[in-house]
A = this chain, B = another copy of it.
Amino acid sequence: MTHPLFDKHRARLDGAVAAIASRAYWSAFSEMPSPKVYGENAPDDGKRAFEAHLGKPFELGQPGQQGWHGGESSPYGIALGVSYPVCDPDALVAAGHVAMQGWQAVGADGRTGICLEILDRLNKQSFELAHAVMMTTGQGWMMAFQAGAPHAQDRGLEAVAYAWREQSFVPAETVWEKPQGKNPPLVMKKHFQIVGRGTALVIGCGTFPTWNTYPGLFAALATGNPVIVKAHSNAILPAAITVRTIRAVLAENGIDPNLVSLCVTDKRATTQALATHPAVKSVDFTGGNVFGQWLIDNARQAQVYAELAGVNNIVIESTDAYKAMLGNLAFTLSLYSGQMCTTSQALFVPAGGIDTDQGHKSYDEFCADLAAAVQRFLSKPEVAHAVLGAIQSADTAERIDVANSGALGKVVLASTKLDNPDFPAANVRTPVLLACDAADEKLYMEERFGPIAFIVKVADSAAAIALSERVVSTHGALTVGVYSTRQDVVDAMTEATWRSKVALSINLTGGVFVNQSAAYSDYHGTGGNPAANASYADSAFVANRFRVVQRRYHA
């Protein structure tokens, strides 16, 4: 009954299923870009594989091809020049629909086994994917490797584990025998067929083209659906590599590869038509509020799983590890130049300052100390470039300039432009820190994506917690934090997050950061505030992607 690939990868699946149950640490894919783990030649082979794509058309063999399109611009300033097949969206939908039948027939075990094989193959391409992610997104190398490859693969596997667990609850068949007193029982044979809802559209973002795409992609695929990946116009290559590998593994296993395809277009109208196509039954989206809300309002034939903008924030009341706290915050604000959906944007600090192990610090002292901590952290160029990466979009660069001008609040620390000797054309910018009052809501109470953070002066810690709750409830957030040595403050913040439904990090000072979430253990987004209506990952992320069709007859 089971599929050879299901048996092959059974231990890995069991590990993932156990991990989502315990939520303890677990990972299937090594996050160290080490030849010892990935093979002696893996780094060089991966780099060459990436370079081999440059300046060439990227063949996928998809139906309905009408031309080629590329135009990705690397934040590191290198020439990419890859072009991708532009295919008639209706042809992709139609071909996926045809392929769905064989995918359904292979059953949940078969789909799970093939998904696990795909992830294994993608893992072997981690260096190639890491270069593609780095050069299209502007991430630093280590982040591009980790978030772009093994961590994304873990998030994909996590979704497969949830999907398999839910599908495994549906028995293939049963005998239903109802007693009838002295008469013979009523006996019915019943069969239960798992069927996918229909075509899944997965719309990627420009900053995390694999990490934010794999959960929806693998959740939809594992539950029996055709998938069309609509890559972000500036981060196509990581998606294209992924889709090509998926199509290869499908074909090797007797599944029509048109089950999964890449949609490349520079026309918003094409994406809109696809998102509202009657055959499209789910849309996974990571991106801005405007298009996200458009999808929710218009793609009514589909279930929309959306991660949108938010205003992540931290309440800082007191600490017994001032220096470590500042260091932790400096790292968070600097990592990938704050271009993470989980980066803190607003730090709420009492007007009366905070108690620390280094004495009381006034609001102004905290501002100065945090600025100094960021500067200190980024003082070595090699560290700065590794951590900051490059600015992904012109919009973000413009926002930094506006913040630097003082238009968004008093500049506590100005963003500076750094020169990256390896990539002279890279646009590298350090964080800008702004000071403002809690009353200046229009400054800090909307997402200003990028390395722009506000140190917001709040009346007191109770007001800070209330403000955090209001910001999350009305504008959304993926992460909040609190620093306090007082249990009553931590408890009040905890209860606030239960109401506003946001993940809380408490007194982070060591090697874990508020903007990081680990697969199998940390829920990425709760799905309960405006920043996201779904979570990576939980049962709700997979359970409504398939339906069960039963048949019954007298036995």
Report which A residues bind B (CB closer than 8 A).
20-25, 104, 166, 169, 171, 174-180, 186, 188, 190, 192-193, 195, 197, 296-297, 300, 494, 497-498, 501-512, 518, 521-523, 526-528, 535, 538-540, 543-544, 547-554
Per assembly, the copies of the chain total 2
* Cα–Cα distance between A174 and B518 once the two chains are bound (Å): 13
Contact B512 A193 (CB under 8 A): no
Contact A550 B528 (CB under 8 A): no
Contact B526 A549 (CB under 8 A): yes
12 A-B residue contacts at CB 8 Å?
A: A20-B169, A21-B169, A22-B171, A23-B190, A23-B192, A104-B498, A186-B510, A195-B528, A501-B547, A503-B551, A504-B549, A543-B543
Q: Looking across the interface, which residue of chain B has its beta carbon closest to that of A548?
A: B523
- Chain B residues near A186 (CB-CB < 8 A): 510-512
Which one of B25, B176, B195, B498 contacts A25 once the chains associate, using CB atoms below 8 Å?
B176
Contact A23 B526 (CB under 8 A): no
* Cα–Cα distance between A177 and B300 once the two chains are bound (Å): 42
- Chain B residues near A169 (CB-CB < 8 A): 20-21, 539
Q: Looking across the interface, which residue of chain B has its beta carbon closest to that of A514?
A: B552
Instruction: Given A186-B512, A511-B186, A540-B544, answer yes or no on A551-B24 (Cβ-Cβ < 8 Å).
Output: no
Q: How far is the CB of A31 from chain B (nearest CB, A)?
A: 10
Contact A507 B176 (CB under 8 A): no
Contact A24 B554 (CB under 8 A): no
Contact A547 B528 (CB under 8 A): yes
Q: How far is the CB of A104 from chain B (nearest CB, A)?
A: 7
* Cα–Cα distance between A518 and B188 once the two chains are bound (Å): 11
Which of A20, A178, A494 has most chain B Cβ within 10 Å? A178
Q: How far is the CB of A160 from chain B (nearest CB, A)?
A: 16
- Chain B residues near A22 (CB-CB < 8 A): 171, 174
Q: How far is the CB of A86 from chain B (nearest CB, A)?
A: 30
* Cα–Cα distance between A504 and B498 once the two chains are bound (Å): 43
Contact B551 A527 (CB under 8 A): no
Contact B538 A540 (CB under 8 A): no
Q: Looking across the interface, which residue of chain B has its beta carbon closest to that of A480?
A: B551
Q: How far is the CB of A91 from chain B (nearest CB, A)?
A: 20
- Chain B residues near A23 (CB-CB < 8 A): 171, 174, 176, 190, 192
Q: How far is the CB of A519 from chain B (nearest CB, A)?
A: 11
A526-B548, A544-B544 known; 12 other A-B pairs, CB under 8 Å?
A22-B171, A24-B176, A166-B539, A197-B528, A297-B300, A503-B550, A508-B553, A512-B552, A526-B547, A527-B544, A538-B548, A540-B543
- Chain B residues near A508 (CB-CB < 8 A): 553-554
- Chain B residues near A511 (CB-CB < 8 A): 180, 186
- Chain B residues near A180 (CB-CB < 8 A): 511
Which of A296, A497, A547 has most chain B Cβ within 10 Å? A547
Contact B171 A512 (CB under 8 A): no
- Chain B residues near A300 (CB-CB < 8 A): 296-297
Instruction: Given A169-B539, A512-B188, answer yes or no on A193-B498 (Cβ-Cβ < 8 Å).
Output: yes
Q: Looking across the interface, which residue of chain B has its beta carbon closest to that of A507?
A: B553
Contact A521 B195 (CB under 8 A): no
- Chain B residues near A297 (CB-CB < 8 A): 300
Which one of B175, B527, B547, B548 contacts A547 once the chains associate, using CB atoms below 8 Å?
B527
Q: Looking across the interface, which residue of chain B has its beta carbon closest to that of A196?
A: B528
